Every structure is written in C-alpha cells, then in structure tokens.
Chain A
Amino acid sequence: MRGERVTERSRPDLEIKDLHVQVEDKVILKGVNLGISKGEIHALMGPNGSGKSTLANVLMGNPFYQVVKGDVLYKGEDLLAMAPDERARKGLFIAFQYPVAIPGVTMSSFLRTAVSARRGYQTELIPVSEFQKILRAKIEELKMEPSITGRYVNEGFSGGEKKRAEILQMALLEPQIAIMDETDSGLDIDSVKIVADGVNRMFAAAGGQMGILVITHYSRILHFIKPHHVHVIFDGRLVVSGSSELAEELERTGYEGIKSQVDIIRTEVAESGAVRRAGKVFWVEH
C-alpha cells in the first residue's frame, strides 16, 4: 500500500521548522518540524536521549543550546530572536524537568514578580491582596501545602513538590502555549493524577486559548491528560505522529515496536517526506 501525501493545515501558533540544535559540539536535534495551536494538546514521546528536553529548552531560550539551523515562529514572530523573559511574557511557558533552587527568594515573592511580569505590570507589582486571592485558589486546586509560599524557590522541595510547584506556576501565568517537560517523572500515581487534573482544569478553563505540549517518556500521564496528537522522536527527529491511540500502541509495543515500523517504511518509501499509514503519519528521512 502506497502512502499518501499529507496536506498542510492552517498556520499554527507555534511553528517549528527544520530545527537543528547542538550543545557544545554535539548535534541533538536534526531537523524537527512541529506545529502547535491553542486549543490543542500534543504529546511528544521518545526514549532517553532522543532530544525531547532539548526541544523544550530551546523553545524557552536556554542559552546552553545553540540553534544551528531552522526557524521557530510564535504567532508569526521570530521566537528565536526573543530573550527568554520576552517569550514568557508573550505567553510561552515551560514546566521544567529539573527546576533549580533560588535560595533566599520566597515562592510568594517570586510568583508575585512573575505574575506581574506576565500581566504587563511595568514598575509596580500586582497588588498583594489580588495576588494572594489568586494564589490561594490555585494552591487549593493543586492540593498543595499553603506553607509552600513562604519557602524558598525549589529549595529542599521533594521531587513531587518541585513538579507540582511548576504546575502551580503554569496555573498562575496562564500561558498560551505550555510545554511540560517530563512532569510525570518522579511522581507517584496520586501526584500524577492531581497534576493531570490541574492541567485539564486549566485547559478547559482557557476555553480554547491554551495549547499544551506534554513531553514524556512513559504513556502513564497520557491516561489522564488526553492528547489530540502524539509525536514520537528518535535521535533528534520526529519519526511518527498520530492520535492518542499511538500512545496506547507505544505502551503495548514499546519504542522498539515503533522503531521497526519506521525501519520498514523507510525501506519501502524512496523519497523523504510524510507518509500516512495505519492511522499514523510517518516522517521519512533519507
């Protein structure tokens, strides 16, 4: 059975085109193409070292990663030309896999500064009473200890607390495009459920104004956050995209199962490009 060509959709809010990224001398991303729009949930899955976290970090502007080729457009603007803080103020968000500690800075002071920046306050900060009200509500939703606001940013947090604190920030900053980088790793099943509930609530409340990229190694979190699209990345390239069923298939066959399918199609198809087969799109590269 021959594959058929995929027609292009309308321009997405976040558009990644042929992105090549390296760290020091090592090329990690070798031409990633991906589009995410508001109102969509995408999942990016892949084995360790395939480039998932690199993609997340480079989208947020981590100076450790160098873009060597390609473009990223955010609402039509050149995202790669913006400093990280500008990206964030324009509605891009990343829930980090390894959040860093900022000793001596309390969560509440940090969060108030961040919320003020996102909401466009220039010299003043958002009034304390208004901020406290929002903060309390979000903390309750995520079933967090209220005392967390007085603790220093990520300092002495357990793995679960760190991840939940990232989701708290996501809830407060109301992003348009949010990237969750392995938020589920290191969480027990109850915590995964609480985090997922929080994310689902945010997504629903945004009424189509939020897009999410869930980066994960396992399909576990995808039982709770249902993606519209699932993408698999191997060795710095997307190899296959599909619906949420792709995640289930991955769970059954493992990455090896997908890899053998990819290998078969690559031998069958002579040209590089997108090939639709078995309800999935294979991105063939020669």
Chain B
Amino acid sequence: MATTNPLGIDLEHYKWGFRDPVDKYVFTARKGLDADVVNQISHMKSEPDWMRAYRLHAYDHFRQRPIPTWGADLTQIDFDEIYYYLKPVEEKGRTWEDVPQDIKRTFDRLGIPEAEKKWLAGVGAQYESESVYHNLKEEWEKLGVIFLDTDTALKKHPDIFREYFGTVVPPEDNKLAALNSAVWSGGSFVYVPEGVRVDIPLQAYFRINAEKAGQFERTLIICEPGSYVHYVEGCTAPIYTSDALHAAVVEIIVKEGARCRYTTIQNWSTNTYNLVTKRAVAYRDATMEWVDGNIGSKLTVKYPSVYMVEPGAKAEILSVAYAGKGQHQDPGGKVIHAAPHTQSSVISKSISKDGGRAGYRGLVKVYPGAVGSKCAVRCDALILDEYSRSDTYPTNEIEEEDVSITHEATVSKVSDEQLFYLMARGIKADEAMGMIVRGFIEPITKELPLEYAVELNRLIALEMEGSVG
C-alpha cells in the first residue's frame, strides 16, 4: 500500500516523480505560503482546474483578511513560520526513537497496541484495520453511502463534491477558513442517500487510506432527507505532530428530517494551535448534533455551529474541554435560529488544572420571525486548583420576542465534602478526585461511543494523578 503523508500526497508517486526529469515540481521544505505553494499542492494532487482556481482565490482572501478577533487571542501565530506542505525527508526520517518519551509513556499507559502507537506517532506503517473495514465498506456501498477521504471523493464524485464543497464555510468566511480552503488536504467525505440510516458509526480510522490526522483537513458531510449518520473522528491518544498549526474545516448539510451526529475527541500535543471551523446547516425538522471533546493542544479555538434555516430544525452541542499546564481551551458553540420553531441546546463542561485556562464562548442568535424558538445553554466549569482559570463569554443576539432562551452557568471546585465522602469509603484521594471529575463530564461521556468514553475517562485519570496532596 502506498504511504501517505499529512498532505495526502502519495509518497510512492512522489518518489517516482522526483526521479522523472519531466516533473518540473521539486518540493523542497520551505516555510511560509505563497501562490506557488498553492499551485504545487493542487498539481501534486492532479486536481481539476476549478479546484486549483478555488485554492488560489482562497489564498488571496487569506492574505487580505485580518486575524479573527471573535474568540481567543491568535496574534501569537506566525503564519510565515509554518510549513504548509510536505517535508518528505523529515516525515520519512522520523523513527520511533524520535517520539518524545512522555508521549510513548502515555501510549503505554493507555494500553494502545504497538502498531497503532506507531501510526498515531506518525511513524512507519499506518494503522490497518483492513478486515473490519472491508466488511463495513460492503454494507455501506450496498446502501449507496459514500465514505472516502476528501481527495479521493473529489476525483471519484466530482459532481456531488462541487455542488456542496465550500457552501457552508466559504473561503470568504474568515482568515482560517480561507487558509484551509487554499491548502486543504485529507479529511473525510460522507454522503448518505435519502432515507438511509447508517447504524454503525462511521469512524475516520476505518476510512480507506486513512492518514494520520493532518494539519489542514477538510471534511464534508451531506445527509439527504430522512437519513441518519454518526461520524466519529479523533482519538484520545495524544496525536504527536511537529506541526504548530492545525486548521481544519468541517461542513455539514442536514436536509429535511435527517439527523447527523458528529463526534470528535482531540488530544493534540501541547505545542499545537488547534483552530477548527465546524459548521452545519439544518433544514426542515433536521437535527444536527456536535459532540466535541478537547484535551490536548496549546490553544483550541473551536465553536461548532448550527444554522437552523427551516422550521423545526434542531441543534445540540455538547462539549468538554480539559486545560492543564500551559493550555488554553476556548471551545464553545454557536446556534443560529433563522426559522420559526427551531430548537437548540448547548451543554459545555470545562475543567482547568495546573494553571490551565478553559471556558466557554458561545453565540445564540435569533433572527426576526423565528417565532416559537427555544434555546437552552448550560455551561459548567470545574476548577481544580487556585492557579487555574475559567471564563464564560456568552453572546446573545435575540431579535425576536416570541422565543424562550435560558442560560445557566456554574463555576465550581471539587468540594472537600465530596472528597471526604468518597475517601470515607476507602477510596484513595486521587481516585476520589478522578471520580468527581469523571462524574462532572458524565453528561458528555455518556453520549460517546463506549470505547471513546472509556479512553477519555482513562486519560483524565492519568491527567489527574498526583492532583491531591
């Protein structure tokens, strides 16, 4: 099987191309971004002209747009210091020995199989789950479901692709969306035909030619009327990457009466800026659910949003974030009620420890005429020591009177009474603390597929070690 890299470029192909004097593009590792780099990426992927033009147009926007100010401070990012494309020598030369010791230790303690460890660390062969995958793939194909990496989808299903790509998050949307549109690579493409219910969650790592999570992934999900799909991406094991920036875009279209759930658990290494634009459009009586967990990264900026554009559309956003030393988690959600009788619910849970900063940033927007709409926002913060911090920034723009909006926010500390109660039953202090924290995020973990819930809890248990004197 061909080895792929974060940009989705076939290394085998590249190797041949390199020897072939006809190929005039020779990649050399270089920081920064210009139109040449964008052209090269498109060329290496043998993309149609429209996509190349699209990327260049997006690049123009990226250059012109200011750094977004809605949300956490991004001014520290030096866009000229980032590699936007393949670094073949570096990527291929990485060995297991190069992977930092603490990452390896966490892998061991999570009990991750050897092969998967190496895949997660970006070393050696990718994690193969071929037999499982093939059985599932046949089932999906019978149903007419398309589940491919986004690059392959562009080649195999150009018409559907072009009809929807960039319609939910256009390049003009913001600087980071423009950046992703210019240099995107990898990600998932999911198409669920009318009335089809996909019972088994689609998991990113089952995808054929699954790559390790890339820097500029692009995911597009289309749910035709009356369909259902649950897409799961991410992994609770730390994703080791030397990349400083992860700027993904996820676009989802949920048509009449359809339901889509998108679950993410991310644990980027703590040097990474994780800036993701996730947006869905929900039509008549459709339901969109975002379940979002963030543990790693230096800074996470992620506000999954749902535009409810027709009557009866529903949105649910569940998010949990953990910020440890040197980390800033700035998750949240946006619900936009643009039609009558739309309903949304946002539940956010954040935990901060060892000087970490975690919080909630949300927008509730109700347009005039969205009568009878309901929105409930609840955000709870748990602060584990006196050095850590929690912030809540709710924004409400309500332009219709006949609506019901509730907002509840709590900030709490683990109480001595709770700790004492558990310890009085023989449970050790750190395990007692872990139990309380797991209980705190339980409203989210109970919504996760079992293996993710178990892993998330285990990971939090690791993070909690030594937190009680």
Contacts and interface: CB of A to CB of B under 8 A. Distances in A.
A94 interface: yes
Interface stretch (B19-27, B365-373, B419-427): B419-427
A102 B418 contact: yes
Interface in A131-163: 152-153
Contacts of A64: 416, 420
A153 B432 CA distance: 13
Contacts of A105: 435-436, 438-439, 442
B391 to A, nearest CB: 22
Interface string B432-469: 10011011111100000000000000000000000000
B194 interface: no
B384 to A, nearest CB: 15
A102 B424 CA distance: 14
Nearest to A57: B420
B424 A117 contact: no
Interface stretch (A83-91, A191-199, A229-237): A83-91
Nearest to B428: A85
B429 A102 contact: no
Contact of B422 (A61, A63, A104, A110): A110
Given A62-B420, A64-B416, A84-B420, A113 B427 contact: yes
A4 B143 CA distance: 93
Contacts of B440: 103-104
A118 B424 CA distance: 11
A103 B440 CA distance: 6
A60 interface: yes
Contacts of B400: none
A96 interface: yes
Contacts of A62: 420
B95 interface: no
A117 B435 contact: no
B441 A113 contact: no
Contacts of A99: 421
Given A85-B432, A102-B421, A114-B425, 16 more contacts: A60-B424, A61-B423, A63-B416, A88-B424, A103-B439, A104-B438, A104-B439, A104-B440, A104-B441, A105-B439, A110-B425, A110-B435, A114-B426, A117-B427, A117-B428, A118-B425
Interface of B: 415-418, 420-429, 431-432, 435-436, 438-443
20 contacts: A60-B420, A61-B424, A85-B428, A88-B424, A88-B427, A93-B424, A96-B421, A100-B421, A103-B440, A103-B442, A104-B441, A104-B443, A105-B438, A105-B439, A105-B442, A110-B425, A113-B427, A113-B431, A113-B435, A152-B442
Interface of A: 60-64, 83-85, 87-89, 93-94, 96, 99-100, 102-105, 109-110, 113-114, 117-118, 152-153, 169, 173
